[in-house]
């Protein structure tokens, strides 16, 4: 029973990892920019939520909406002020700039918030559990999973059905041609980066309710995001969700075996998947 519980909880945790990866992949899919500051933005969202919670005493889940809105604006501004200046065929400048930004963000957070690991208190819900056939599942992780699934369904519908989603996809296909149909592609890039950061930040806020975060956790978050994208295969939402599940299960199972292992086994699983299926799960038949 312990193992079943561990697997189920791993899935619930993995849903959050998946959101890290989906935000990263979305930004890359639209404008071919790898945002190396993605992890720091995710951690920043937890600090933003904590600050808001000091002023306004509500349940932490209520903060999802304002935090997502604030992080959308930050992503938008990041693209408008910095990344739109380094666009081009060469992906290196954007990578360098965001790498530098990640260092700056990390140290700013260290300066303002200190190095202590913190956690966001989700209130009494944190201790609630329900019993399903003798397996105890936390209400908090279930709620988190429900929010992730709703987010993904809404996100997918937005991209597939709405006019703005269509224009974003068209911009990803051919940023030059959309211009002759009245689209300012730089603005589309800003919106895309805003969505990418906001999406992952919701996950950053929710993961801060179950584990700790500090200015240095951004690196782990980014690594997980990369692993989700690589395991799942770029551009496939549901495969990336599965990739997140695999990493989440690997992490919790390994913690059962060796409480000091941390993310080691998750990274090992990633390594094995990469060796066996170099193109990710969604393309496993294709050779890289």
Partner 1 sequence: MPLLEVTDLKSYYGDFQALFGITLSVAESQTIAIIGANGAGKTTFLNSVIGLNSEKSGAILFDGEDITHVRADRISRRGIAMVPEGRRLFPSLTVEENLLAGTTTRRSGLWTLERVFALFPALPAMRDRLAMRLSGGEQQMVAVGRALLANPRLLLCDEISLGLAPKIVDQIYTCFDQIRATGISIILVEQDIARARVSADHVYCFLEGRISLQGASGSLDLRDISRAYFGT
Q: Which residues bind partner 1 (CB under 8 A)?
A: 163, 166-167, 169-170, 172-174, 176-185
Query: How near is the Cβ of 88 to partner 1 at its closest, in Å?
Result: 14
By CB atoms closer than 10 A (0-12, 13-18, 19+), residue 139 is: middle
The smaller minimum CB distance to partner 1, of residues 123 and 165, is found at: 165
The smaller minimum CB distance to partner 1, of residues 113 and 185, is found at: 185
Which DSSP helix (H) or strand (E) runs through 183? none
The smaller minimum CB distance to partner 1, of residues 22 and 42, is found at: 22
CA distances from 269 to 211, 228, 243 (A): 21, 11, 11
Cβ–Cβ under 8 Å, residues 84 and 99: no
Query: How near is the Cβ of 268 to partner 1 at its closest, in Å?
Result: 35
CA 207 – CA 201 distance, rounded (Å): 10
First to last CA, the chain: 39
Query: How near is the Cβ of 160 to partner 1 at its closest, in Å?
Result: 10
The smaller minimum CB distance to partner 1, of residues 20 and 185, is found at: 185
Query: How near is the Cβ of 233 to partner 1 at its closest, in Å?
Result: 16
Measured CA angle at 87 (ends 83, 88), to 5 deg: 160
Cβ–Cβ under 8 Å, residues 266 and 247: yes
Which DSSP helix (H) or strand (E) runs through 132? strand 129-132
The tokens for 271 are 């390594």
Residues 6+ apart with CB under 8 A from 95: 33, 34, 36
The smaller minimum CB distance to partner 1, of residues 87 and 261, is found at: 87
The smaller minimum CB distance to partner 1, of residues 98 and 171, is found at: 171
Query: How near is the Cβ of 165 to partner 1 at its closest, in Å?
Result: 10
Query: How near is the Cβ of 9 to partner 1 at its closest, in Å?
Result: 36
């Amino acid at each position: 029973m312990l193992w079943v519980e561990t697997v189920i909880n791993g899935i619930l945790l993995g849903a959050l990892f998946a959101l890290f990866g989906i935000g990263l992949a979305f930004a890359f899919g639209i404008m071919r920019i790898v945002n190396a500051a993605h992890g720091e933005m995710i951690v920043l969202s937890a600090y933003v939520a904590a600050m808001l919670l000091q002023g306004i005493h509500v349940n932490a889940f209520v903060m999802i909406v304002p935090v997502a809105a604030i992080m959308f604006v930050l992503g938008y501004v990041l693209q408008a002020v910095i990344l739109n200046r380094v666009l081009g065929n060469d992906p290196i400048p954007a990578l360098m700039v965001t790498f530098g930004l990640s260092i700056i963000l990390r140290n700013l957070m260290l300066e303002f918030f200190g190095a202590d690991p913190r956690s966001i208190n989700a209130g009494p819900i944190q201790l609630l559990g329900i019993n399903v056939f003798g397996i105890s599942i936390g209400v908090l992780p279930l709620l988190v999973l429900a929010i992730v699934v709703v987010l993904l369904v809404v996100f997918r519908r937005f991209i597939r059905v709405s006019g703005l989603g269509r224009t974003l996809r068209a911009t990803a296909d051919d940023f030059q041609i959309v211009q002759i149909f009245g689209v300012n592609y730089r603005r589309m890039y800003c919106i895309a980066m805003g969505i990418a950061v906001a999406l992952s930040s919701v996950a950053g806020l929710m993961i801060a309710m179950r584990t700790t975060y500090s200015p240095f956790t951004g690196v782990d978050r980014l690594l997980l995001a990369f692993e989700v994208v690589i395991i799942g295969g770029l551009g496939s939402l549901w495969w990336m969700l599965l990739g997140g599940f695999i990493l989440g299960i690997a992490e919790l199972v390994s913690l059962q075996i060796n409480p000091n292992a941390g993310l080691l086994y998750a990274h090992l699983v990633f390594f094995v998947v990469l060796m066996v299926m170099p193109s990710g799960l969604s393309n496993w038949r294709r050779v890289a």
